[in-house]
Amino acid sequence: MAKEQRHPGRRGRAARLMPGVRQGELGGAGKEISPLDSEVVNLFRSAIDAYLEELGSALEPAGSYLPYDFDFIHNHEWHIFGNQMVEDELRELTNIMNRWCGDLHRWHAWNNVIRSYGENEAWKIRREFVEALVHHCLLEPSAVRDRFTFVATNAFHQIRLSSEEGYKDRLEGDPKNPNEKSVFLSRGKKEKRLEKVISIWSESKRFLESIAAINDRSYQRATYDYRNRVNHAIGPRLGVGITQAVTRSVVQATHLKKQPDGTYRDEPIPGKLSVRYGVGGTQPIDLEEARTSNLKQYQLAQTCYNRYFELLKSKVACIKMKAENAGKDHEKALWEKAFSEV
């Protein structure tokens, strides 16, 4: 089992931050990774047996995986490769949602297993089998929100190209001349771009609202802003352990000012800032509370997926059906039209 490597001078502190960790398990500079001993092997075997039993129980989220029923995309007069793009990206989005669903089942099962073990054993099981799974799930709400925006922008842009005369194959962020590169847009600007593409349909509002509901502030608070911190700073630990024991921040400067009654009160100094150092650290994420929060995000994403699918299906139906005898002449016309717009 891979051991976590730390600065050799901080072993004692690390052990205090993670109860149940033996000194030798934290590793050190130049320390070789030792093979599993029989005690750990037996622990992992018993945990896996218990996990397999749990997989047969009632786990969340309930219900079935999303289906792959995409036949409605076929047999329409799409703009060049529009149908292939829409179907391919819809399939990948469905794969991602189903993977997230399965990961939540696995997370729930492991949480049930870990409850029956002591602190030291639970830590070993969590490190070996659970943390990578939880890490992936905690990142999904932010990632899937951006994926919905990306996939929907492409799909509805292709639908409008295929169904509207005069609609141009241009999107905000595209280069305007050969010397320019594509402009990277922020999440807010990408969502605004999608809104511009689909705002011609009044029923698109429900879909846009469902995108905005994913990865909201309440989820970020519940997970200590895990996605942002783990990618750009030091994230909170999973299950046990404290990070960032000392923090630095710049705040409004204050001073003690005497009041008429003889007492003193802390009041701001106009126009001045001060540097503040805090002690306390970021607490670990409770894996069961985080699972519940992540499950709610998955359910919001599933609602978003269903609304996207419903809107997509209704707008694909507006594209002219392909004639039975349509062949190379139709494809040639599409290519000529596309190149004339470049």
Confidence of residue 331 (pLDDT cuts 50, 70, 90): low
**Predicted pLDDT of residue 7:** 35
Rounded to an integer, the average pLDDT of 8-15 is 36
- Alpha carbons 308 and 323: distance in angstroms, whole number: 27
Does residue 258 have a pLDDT over 70?
yes
133 sits in which H/E element: helix 131-163
Asked if residue 28 has pLDDT above 60, the reply is no
User: Residue 180: its pLDDT value, please?
Assistant: 87
Higher pLDDT, 161 or 246: 161
- Tell me, what's the pLDDT at 332? 54
Position 323 pLDDT exceeds 50: yes
Cβ atoms 137, 104 nearer than 8 A? yes
Alpha carbons 236 and 238: distance in angstroms, whole number: 7
Angle, CA 54 vertex, CA 52 and CA 56 arms, to 5°: 85
| Band of residue 36 on the pLDDT scale cut at 50, 70, 90 | confident
Best-predicted range by mean pLDDT (230-234, 268-272, 277-281): 268-272
Neighbour-count burial of 234, counting CB atoms closer than 10 A to its CB (0-12 exposed, 13-18 middle, 19+ buried): exposed
Give the residue-averaged pLDDT of 211-219: 95
Section 63-76 average pLDDT: 95
Q: Is the pLDDT of residue 17 over 80?
A: no
- The whole-number pLDDT of residue 336 equals 56
**Is the predicted pLDDT of residue 251 greater than 60, yes or no?**
yes
Q: pTM for this one?
A: 0.81
pLDDT of 87 reads: 98
Which structure tokens are listed for 187? Answer: 């999440």
Stretch among 1-15, 140-154, 305-319, 325-339 having the lowest mean pLDDT: 1-15
pLDDT of the residue at 11:
35
Q: Where are the domains of the chain?
A: 38-174+182-240+286-341, 246-279
Give the confidence band of 49 by pLDDT, cuts at 50, 70, 90: very high
Instruction: Find, among 127, 157, 162, the residue nearest to 25 by Cα.
Output: 127
